[in-house]
Structure 1
């Protein structure tokens, strides 16, 4: 994927790998949150899924779009939540469409985990500084918005 801007910038040497730094940050951030979420018996991706689900069934496609995930990864991530009884798969009028909703026990698990997540978030803001965390969030959102149109539709 080459753009005019990328070709024009070849005169400058590239900056250090942003992707590698983002991966390192993601691993450390995940470990930080999971240190807290372990108390609720969840991993960070599981907590995130529970937070995006509601009692109203929603399609896998809709959920994948909301979470910026591909459907295959989302299907794998949902499997242990369905097995635990926290997420329920519903039938759809369209046999090709899979619908998922939060079960009562899933709502309880999410509520329990949300209390722990608040502790983790506040601790993170203490470590990084609240202003820095707010700016980091804003920069991450801006990066997501800029990258979205640069990716192929499958991503």
Structure 2
């Protein structure tokens, strides 16, 4: 009897879990973008970092984490590769802080991947449909603005 109850609980959680569903959607979307970015030697997670540093640099790792809702350890792995490839420059900013800036090579990479980004963007929009694509952006923006008020 207990196994049946546990199975019902697991089934209900699997059917209703927003976290699991959102994570699956994220993996599908990331794989579409990563497939397009692969010829350029970069992943979608790294492009996101390049974009944030390009828009807000010089900036710090803490600020990038905040803007992308990332843990520092997650950022560190991608950031190390971006610095090694010369796409981001890290300079001392006092104490343990480093300023991050997009390099000329980093800006050139963003320009090179833009056509691939457009293809991936169109593929995801086709997969989701226009209404869901628009609603997803609205929900994410609204959720993040709520988080910013804390």
Q: Contact 1:87–1:106 (CA<8 Å) still a contact in 2?
A: yes
Match of residue 80 from structure 2: 79
Give the corresponding residue for 1:10. none
TM, length-normalised to structure 2? 0.79
Encode CA deviations 1:6-29: one digit per residue, 9 max, x unaligned.
xxxxxxx87711111111111111
Distance in 2 (CA, whole Å) between partners of 1:127 and 1:54 is: 29
Question: Aligned-pair distance for 1:121?
Answer: 0.7
Structure 1: 5+ residue stretches without partners: 1-12
Structure 1 match to 2:99: 99
What pairs with 1:5-154 in structure 2 (closer than 5 Å)? 16-54=16-54, 56-92=57-93, 94-146=94-146, 148=147
Distance 1:30 1:21 in 2: 14
Q: Alpha carbon RMSD of aligned pairs, Å?
A: 2.4
Structure 2, unaligned runs of 5 or more: 1-11
Q: Number of matched residues? A: 137
Corresponding residue SS for 2:70: coil
Deviation, structure 1 residue 105: 0.8
Q: CA deviation at 1:142?
A: 3.0
Q: Any idea what the Cα deviations from partners look like across 1:78-121, whole Å, max 9, x if unmatched? A: 001111111111121x2221111111111111111122101211
